[in-house]
Each structure stands twice: as C-alpha cells, then as structure tokens.
C-alpha cells in the first residue's frame, strides 16, 4: 500500500520542495522527480521543507543526502526545514548536519532569502 505523499514545487524566492505525509521507498520517487527537475535548472540553493512530514525512511534520507551532494558539487546550498521531532532526529542521526553546504532550520521563516 502506498503511503500518503504530497509534493509541491515552489520557485521563488528559492526553489522549494514542500513535502507532506510520509516519505518511504514506495513514494520517494515522486519527491525525487521534483528535486531532480529543480536541480536541472542549476539553482544556487534549494529548500526541502519537511515541516509536514510524519515519517521518513532510508529512501527519503538518501534523497536528501543525494540532493545535498549535487548542490555541494557545484558550490550550492541545501536548506532543510524540519522541526524538532522524529524526522529531524533521524536526519541528525544520519549526519545531515555534517554536510558543509547544508543547513537545518526549525521553520520555513528561518531560511535566508537569496
């Protein structure tokens, strides 16, 4: 059974992927497709907004690290918006805060406007 997932792409002021629901190996390709489309435009930064994500598995974590790596390779920046809770704890355990060009924010309003 496929878990609920909604992915919305915003383009201003920084290209943003807003995800709602659960990110798992069944539905992660939908989120990845939006991220890849944004990366193809070669932005200086991308925001992945996980404030409304209830669950994330290894596929979702891998997608975030893959995105961070692509941006790192071209001196770009990834902003991950994720409030304190289980999803953030999983990302922190995976080492999201160890990527030099990635920053984690509690809320979308905390993301710098470029």
Rounded Cα distance, 35 and 16, in Å: 9
Residue in this structure with the two tokens 């071209």, named with its chain if needed: 74
pLDDT for 114 = 62
Could you say which architecture CATH assigns to the domain 5-109?
A: 2-Layer Sandwich (3.30)
pLDDT for 1 = 37
Question: For the chain, what are the domain ranges?
Answer: 5-109
Rounded Cα distance, 47 and 67, in Å: 10
pLDDT per position as a tens digit, 42-97: 999 999 999 999 999 999 999 999 999 999 999 999 999 999 999 999 999 999 98
Contact 33, 63 (CB under 8 A): no
pTM of the full structure: 0.90
**CA 2 distance to own-chain centroid:** 20
**pLDDT higher than 60, residue 3:** no
């Amino acid at each position: 059974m496929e878990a609920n997932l909604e992915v919305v792409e915003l383009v201003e002021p920084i290209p943003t992927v807003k995800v709602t629901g659960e990110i798992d190996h069944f539905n992660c390709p939908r989120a990845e497709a939006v991220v890849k489309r944004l990366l193809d435009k070669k932005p200086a930064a991308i925001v992945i907004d996980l404030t409304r994500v209830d669950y994330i598995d290894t596929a979702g974590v891998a997608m975030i690290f893959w995105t961070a790596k692509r941006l790192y390779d071209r001196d770009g920046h990834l902003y991950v918006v994720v409030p304190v809770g289980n999803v953030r704890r999983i990302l922190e355990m995976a080492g999201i805060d160890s990527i030099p060009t990635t920053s984690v924010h509690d809320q979308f309003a905390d993301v710098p406007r470029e």
